[in-house]
Amino acid sequence: MTTTLDTGPDVSRSAAPRSDRARRAGRTAGRLLPMGPALVLLAIFMAGPVVWSFYGSFTDAALTGAAAQNTSWVGLDNYTGLFADPNFPKSVWLTVIFVLTSAIIGQNVLGLTLAMLMRQATGVVRAAVGTLVVTAWVLPEIVAAFAAYAFFHADGTLNALLGAVGLGESNWLYDFPMLAVIIANVWRGAAFSMMVYAAALANLPPDVTEAATVDGASGPKRLLYVTLPMIRRSISTNFMLTTLMTLQVFTLIYVMTAGGPGTDSSTLPLLAYQEAFSFGRIGYGTAIATIMLLIGAVFSVVYIRMLRPEVD
C-alpha cells in the first residue's frame, strides 16, 4: 500500500521564477550602476535646463525689475502674447524657410551630389575636395560666420568677383539677407550630409547597381529607383539631424545680419535671444524656445514615421 503525502505547494517551483527575476534585476542594476554618474550629469545639465525652460515659459521671469526678484506665475500669458506679436509669425515663417531651403533641400542635395561625385573621383581629387568641404564644417561656427560675412559684405569677396567680370554688385546682407544666410548655412553644413551619404553609398551591394545597368536603366533611373530607395534610412536620419541642427542656428545669422535689416532675417533663435537678453523678458523668451522645441519634435516625428514601413 502506497501512501501519498500532501506536502503543500511546490515551493521550489514557485521560488524559481522569483529567483530568475531577482537575478535579471541584479544584472540590470549591475549594468546601470556604472552609468549612474553619467545619468546624473545628463539629468542636471540636459534635462534640467529643458524642465526649467518649460516652467519659466509660464512665468514673468525677467533680467531686471521687480520680476527679477519675485517671479510670478502668469499661466499662458506668454503664449497668448506670442500670437499677438507680429514679429512671432514672421519669425516662424523665416525659420521654416531657412530649415526647408538650407537643410532639407540645400545640405541634403549638395551632400548627396558630392558623395556621388567623390565615388567617381580619383584619389587626389577626392582628398582635395573632401578637405575643402570638411574644413567648412570643422571650423568653429564663429569663424565660419565671419568668413561668410566677409564674403557677402558690400566690400567683400563676392562683389569683388562680380565686379571683376563686369557684373553688377549688390549689398547682399541688406538686400538679400535670408538668401545670404541660407547659402552660408548650406556651405557650412553640406560636409556632414556628404559624409553620411558617402557611408551609405559605400554599403550598397554593387551587384544590384550592376544588374540595373545591364537591364538598361539610365543613371537618373538607377538613382531614383535603386540608389535612393536603398539608402532611405540614411536619408531620413540625415533629414532629421540636419533639420534639428539648422533649427538652432544662431551664431551664423547673428554675426552676418543680427536678424536684420529690421526683422527680415530674424529666425526663432534670434527672436528668443532678443526678447530674453536684449529686452530682459526671460519668460517670454523661453516661451519662444519651447515653441522651437515643439517644432523640432514635429519634424522628428515626421521623419521617424518615414522609417516605419521599413522597421515594421
Q: Distance (Å, rounded) from C-alpha 230 to C-alpha 294? A: 30
For residue 118, give every residue at least 6 positions away whose Cβ sits within 8 Å of its Cβ, in sequence order, or none.
126, 129, 130, 194, 198
Compute φ and ψ for 140, nearest 5 degrees. Answer: -55, 145
Classify the phi-psi angles of 261: left when phi > 0, otherwise alpha if psi is within -120 to 50, otherwise beta. beta
Mean pLDDT of 14-21: 59
Residue 38 pLDDT grade (very low, low, confident, very high; cuts 50, 70, 90)? confident
Cβ atoms within 10 A of the Cβ of 151, count? 19
Residue range 189-193: mean pLDDT, rounded: 91
| C-alpha–C-alpha distance, residues 10 and 244, integer Å | 57
Q: How far apart are CA 118 and CA 108, in angstroms?
A: 15
Side chain identity at residue 71, one-letter code: T
Taken in order of first residue, the domains within the chain and their CATH numbers are: 77-311 (1.10.3720.10)
The packing angle between helices 157-164 and 141-152, to 10°, is 30
pLDDT recorded at residue 11: 47
Mean pLDDT across the stretch 49-55?
A: 85
Name the CA dihedral angle for 67, 72, 75, 76, rounded to a multiple of 10 degrees: 0
- Has residue 89 got a pLDDT over 60? yes
Whether the per-residue pLDDT at 167 is higher than 90: the answer is no
For residues 95, 271, 283, 244, the Cα torsion angle rounded to the nearest 10 degrees is: 30
Q: What is the pLDDT of residues 128-143, one digit of tens each?
A: 777 778 888 888 999 9
Residue range 218-227: mean pLDDT, rounded: 77
What pLDDT does residue 109 have? 93
* Interval 144-165 mean pLDDT: 92
Is the peptide bond prior to 206 cis by the omega test (within 30 degrees of 0)?
no
Question: Averaging pLDDT over each range in 115-119, 145-149, 222-226, which range is the top one?
Answer: 145-149
- Residue 312: pLDDT band (50, 70, 90) is very low
Confidence of residue 288 (pLDDT cuts 50, 70, 90): very high
**Sign of the alpha-carbon torsion through 256, 172, 267, 234:** negative
The pLDDT of residue 1: 46
pLDDT above 90 covers what percent of the chain? Answer: 37
The confidence score (pLDDT) of residue 168 equals 79
Pick the residue with more confidence: 7 or 165?
165
